[in-house]
A = this chain, B = another copy of it.
Amino acid sequence: MMSVATDRAWAEHALEVLHGAGYRRGGARTAVVEALSRHDCAVSALELDDELRQRKAGVGRASIYRSLEQLEELGVLKRLEVSRGMASYERIVQSGHHHHHAICRSCGRLEPFEDPGLERAIARVAGRVSVDVAEHEVVLRGLCERCTR
């Protein structure tokens, strides 16, 4: 399972899609896309806010939420409901490759995993429901090794 420090390809793709949708290349949106491109796994809006503030990007919290919403709507970002009352976001890579998450119910740590068999099972089920399935998410919950002891 490869992982890149910064997914420049995704960032460029995202900016292109934004532009194609008629959005202008504002500083805030670009900063949000760039911040997201540095994360392989789920990040929350507040984490991005912290990050951008540390980099003194001068991006308002509202702009972060607005950008995330647009990116999600355009299908380049996936919104996840994983932690208690807080959404997380994750890049959607063009290759179609993606992972799911095991979450420690004690410390909240996220462990990503991927499994072709699981994906096949989901694809089969998706064909049987009346919803036209566009995406899915699987979450495993329990205690991580550290919290078990």
Shortest distance from the beta carbon of A142 to any chain B beta carbon, whole Å: 4
Q: Closest B-chain residue to A72, C-beta based? A: B105
A104 touches B131 (CB 8 A): yes
Candidate in A85, A87, A102, A113 with the most chain B CB atoms within 10 angstroms: A102
- Which residue of B has the minimal Cβ distance to A126? B140
**Is A115 among interface residues, defined by CB-CB distance under 8 A?**
yes
- CB of A21 within 8 A of chain B? no
Residue of B nearest to A145 (CB): B130
In the complex, which residues 84-120 of chain A have their Cβ closer than 8 Å to any Cβ of chain B?
Answer: 84-85, 87, 102-105, 111, 113, 115, 117-118, 120
Partner of A141, one of B83, B105, B117, B135: B135
For the complex, give the distance between the alpha carbons of A132 and B85 in Å.
Answer: 23
Count identical subunits in the complex.
2
With A122-B118, A125-B118 as contacts: A134 and B105 at CB distance below 8 Å: yes
A82: nearest residue on chain B (CB-CB)?
A: B81
Q: With A118-B121, A121-B118, A122-B118 in contact, do A141 and B134 touch (Cβ < 8 Å)?
A: yes
Known: A85-B85, A115-B121, A118-B122. A129 touches B140 (CB 8 A): yes
Known contacts A118-B121, A124-B117; A132 and B136 CB within 8 A of each other? no
Per CB-CB distance, the 5 closest pairs between chain A and chain B, nearest first, are: A81-B81, A121-B121, A102-B131, A134-B142, A102-B129
